[in-house]
A and B are shown apart, each in its own frame.
Chain A
Amino acid sequence: MYGMADDATQRAAIVAAAGAVADRLEAEKEHLTDLDSAIGDADHGSNLARGFRAAADAVEDDEESSPQELVKKIGVTLISKVGGASGPLYGGSIMSASQTLEDGLTGETSVAFAEAYLEKVKDRGGAQLGAKTMVDALTPAVHTYKKSIEVDDLPPLTAFAKATAAAEHGVEYTVPLRAQKGRASFLGWRSVGHQDPGATSTWFIMQELLAVADDYLEGEVDVDARSPTIPDETPEEVEES
């Protein structure tokens, strides 16, 4: 396993990540709102941008909180500032998953966080894979991240880069699907052909987390989610082992 950054570095990275995500969502506000106006209620961009800006502000000058408390604070702020289903789905899931970070941010705890986040999103929203939701971007991302860390023993940065690439495939996968959750589901077949806004914002958030992680961690960011992580591994060898 890979070493752990000290407390101050973790806290700086969390604050930087919240700021980077807020900036990105602000920049993508209209794009996300356009996606949402096709199949939702056209508020996804503005809601998320407002919420993450408030979350970034809430942690920016916080000198007291532990890394875990900072992540929880981001979740709690999102709950109170993001309207609609995104408050409980993004904020509630971050708040709940922050319980996994009691020992700070490491490769190991970040896998636990990712899994807890995905579970909470699925549980809260009642969405399964293929329902044209953020679960379609999160599931391949979390599975790729876990496998890259726990099986392939890749550096967390490389693992997260692969996870982000996997999320992009998930976003593309939402386009031809019929929505089964949220307001989009009321549109029935008319939802086919539109990219899901929640999957898209999830991928944007991951891109920003990756960019911040790149400033703090060693590893590769230019990776393909579909490339074999152990190049000389063949199916036969896997069977034998």
Chain B
Amino acid sequence: MIGLVVVSHSQKAAEGICELAREMGGEAPLKAAGGDGDEGIGTDAERIGEAISAADEGDGVVVLVDLGSAVMNAELAIEMTEANARIADAPILEGALNAAVEATNEKATVDSVLEKAEDAREYRKR
């Protein structure tokens, strides 16, 4: 099964988004990697790397990110991991929900989950 990692500057935000994504049902491993690793606001490549390893069941991982250093630290974590992990170019919350739904599909791949997550870019609020 495809794993999901949610990277935010805030651990609470990352956990909250995982909580919402779990509501979509499914058994996909979902890991939060928020904060700077020192209980502060920020992102941390090591933390993200550990979350990717924990979420990876061998089929790969899709990573949802918020802003700025979240993207850079996620890229760096992916370069340092063995897992097939990709960053979704998607809004973090909507992307995570879409990805969680697609990950329940038995035939899901990293590419298909990534594509569904990135579909969330089209969502309009009004």
List chain A positions with a Cβ less than 8 A from chain B: 79-80, 83-85, 87-89, 92, 124-125, 182-183
Contact = CB atoms under 8 A, between A and B. Distances in A.
For the complex of A and B, list the 4 residue pairs with the smallest distance between their C-beta atoms, beginning with the closest: A85-B69, A88-B72, A83-B42, A83-B36
B45 A183 contact: no
Contacts of A85: 68-69, 72
B75 A124 contact: yes
B10 interface: no
B38 interface: yes
14 contacts: A80-B46, A83-B37, A83-B38, A83-B40, A83-B69, A84-B42, A84-B69, A85-B69, A87-B72, A88-B45, A88-B72, A88-B73, A182-B68, A183-B68
Contacts of A89: 72
A57 B23 CA distance: 46
B126 to A, nearest CB: 24
A83 B68 contact: no
Contact of A87 (B38, B40, B45, B79): B45
Contact of A125 (B40, B45, B72, B79): B72
Contacts of B76: 79, 87-88, 92, 124
Interface in B30-62: 36-38, 40, 42-46
A87 B46 CA distance: 11
Interface in B47-104: 68-69, 72-73, 75-76, 79
Contacts of A84: 36, 42-43, 68-69
B116 to A, nearest CB: 25
Contacts of A182: 68
A133 to B, nearest CB: 12
Contacts of B73: 87-88
B42 A79 contact: no
A88 B76 CA distance: 7
B67 to A, nearest CB: 9
Contacts of B43: 83-84
Given A83-B40, A124-B75, A88 B46 contact: no
B125 to A, nearest CB: 21
Contacts of A88: 45, 69, 72-73, 75-76
A86 to B, nearest CB: 8
B76 to A, nearest CB: 5
Given A79-B45, A80-B46, A87-B45, A124 B38 contact: no
Nearest to B73: A88
A237 B4 CA distance: 62
A83 B37 CA distance: 9
A125 B70 CA distance: 11
Contacts of B37: 83
Contacts of B42: 83-84
